[in-house]
Structure 1
């Protein structure tokens, strides 16, 4: 049985009716191809013959492949949505996922870079070639703005407002937001635009960050650049673009920025998503307490010094 027609119909439905991004659509497609390949091996002739037990067997296989709970839950979500679409299209009359509970997710706190590690990363860039200047500009901007990597790579020239030190970006659901970037990032971007980008340009385009072929930098390309630079900077943590976003948010909250402002800069629709960063900064708050609170065990002289510095700021 070839399920391609139903799968293609579902993917089109995701893009047109639900307005999901290309990246999300590709994730659904990858997960569902894996699922349908498994179903074929179960000798299922028709999609309306799929039973709950077969889906449960597939989830078990995913665990046996080494997938974590979050990944298995994502697969189940895609399968559930696909079967719901089949009901809409009258291919099936029931959803075999209805009685399957999603795996219980524990929310792991994202690992971040310390401020010292971020400084080491940014200072490790050379400025010898157009590629060096571009790489520094991308990473500097990513940390200065907290953008998602897709948002970063989709930036256009018209999105930059360097004299006022802010950028515009299109977030999830095509929601536009304004993000401040600071003086250092603005200067590094100006250097890239003035010196490096003209040398990378092969044909007219308004794409901001170009690869050596004059085309839009890919996520995979940027990921490789970041991993290589982390090694040069002596950073032993596994580094990803999203880890810089986590670091950006945590460092802002540690320095007293209001949670609502961080939510707006990150483009979170729900503040509950942003609140995870308040948990990450507990260690920082504990350190402040130990320095400042009269019952923390620190000497009064140390505490007086801390309060004096705080008042001077």
Structure 2
């Protein structure tokens, strides 16, 4: 029965034009909930949901994501008459600290591109950095999305919204060497369609490791953070950055306006160097 409800919830979300990535993520969250609680969705209580979200060793952002999935799912169950109450509606909001960008440096991007990664992995890295795409958007780039005359690229953002964005010249040059009439990154082993976002994550992560980048906070999504950070560094208006990153709210884009590590390094180096004395000079003052 619960599998049937998850299938129906997936159809409900597709009817609302939500992205397949969102649908898959929510299904994974709800499947984990079902396994952890051990009772049918129709019988779960507010306490069950709180225990699941309140488990230790889970990041605040993940708690917030899981809460959103539960609210959406149990709202659907009420709308379809499976339940008369919505226990998720009483879940308290999750207090999450303001996020900070975790960007790759330009030197790290160069290192990944020259780390021995294959052609298609290098192409993924370039699309992530020069267009600021999430891994799910990188995975589904199609030759028909690229217009070299208008210098635009089409993609699907969060919420299933189709966006047409300016095409960076580096990606325009890349497009000349990519399939013009099919997926840039087709699925492997005879499967149809494009690869999954998880496959993009795995390939870029391998390139990161080959480049000797060990920082665990740097992930394939950090290419997108590098895109936003470097645009702000170059003086691009924050409202333009918002549109290029397909953010719904300017508040989301504001995290990129903080002072970067590079500027902090440049700032501290402006203090002039001085010779460090070998002796304290205390004896000379006493003698005087």
Aligned partner of 1:140 in structure 2 is 126
TM-score normalised by structure 2 residue count: 0.80
**CA distance in structure 1 between the partners assigned to 2:44 and 2:207 by the alignment:** 48
**CA distance in structure 2 between the partners assigned to 1:218 and 1:96 by the alignment:** 33
**CA distance in structure 2 between the partners assigned to 1:165 and 1:185 by the alignment:** 10
Counterpart pick for 1:248 among 203, 222, 227: 227
Aligned partner of 1:233 in structure 2 is 211
Alignment of 1:64-83 (within 5 A): 66-83=57-74
Alignment of 1:193-232 (within 5 A): 193=178, 206-210=182-186, 213=189, 216-232=194-210
In the TM superposition, what whole-angstrom CA distance separates every residue of 1:169-222 from its partner, at most 9, and x where no partner exists? 23232322222312x3333332x33xxx59xxxxxx621223565763332332
Structure 2 unaligned spans of 5+: 274-288
In the TM superposition, what whole-angstrom CA distance separates every residue of 1:147-186 from its partner, at most 9, and x where no partner exists? 122222212212223466442223232322222312x333
Q: Does 1:33 align with 2:31?
A: yes
Q: Which structure exhibits the higher relative contact order, with contacts defined as CA atoms closer than 8 Å and separated by 6 or more residues?
A: 2
SS of the residue 1:90 aligns to: coil
Shift of 1:110: 2.7
SS of the residue 2:235 aligns to: coil
When residues 282 and 124 of structure 1 are mapped into structure 2, their CA distance, relative to the original with a 3 A threshold, is closer
On the 8 A contact 2:124/2:204 being kept in 1, the answer is no
**Which of 220-229 and 260-269 deviates more?**
220-229
Aligned partner of 1:305 in structure 2 is none
**CA distance in structure 1 between the partners assigned to 2:188 and 2:22 by the alignment:** 27
Question: Runs of 4 or more off by more than 4 Å in structure 1?
Answer: 211-215, 282-291, 296-299
**CA distance in structure 2 between the partners assigned to 1:121 and 1:232 by the alignment:** 7
Structure 1 unaligned spans of 5+: 127-131, 199-204, 300-313
On the 8 A contact 2:121/2:203 being kept in 1, the answer is yes
SS of the residue 1:275 aligns to: helix
Shift of 1:121: 2.1
Alignment of 1:17-166 (within 5 A): 18-41=16-39, 47=42, 49-60=43-54, 62-63=55-56, 66-125=57-116, 132-162=118-148, 165-166=151-152
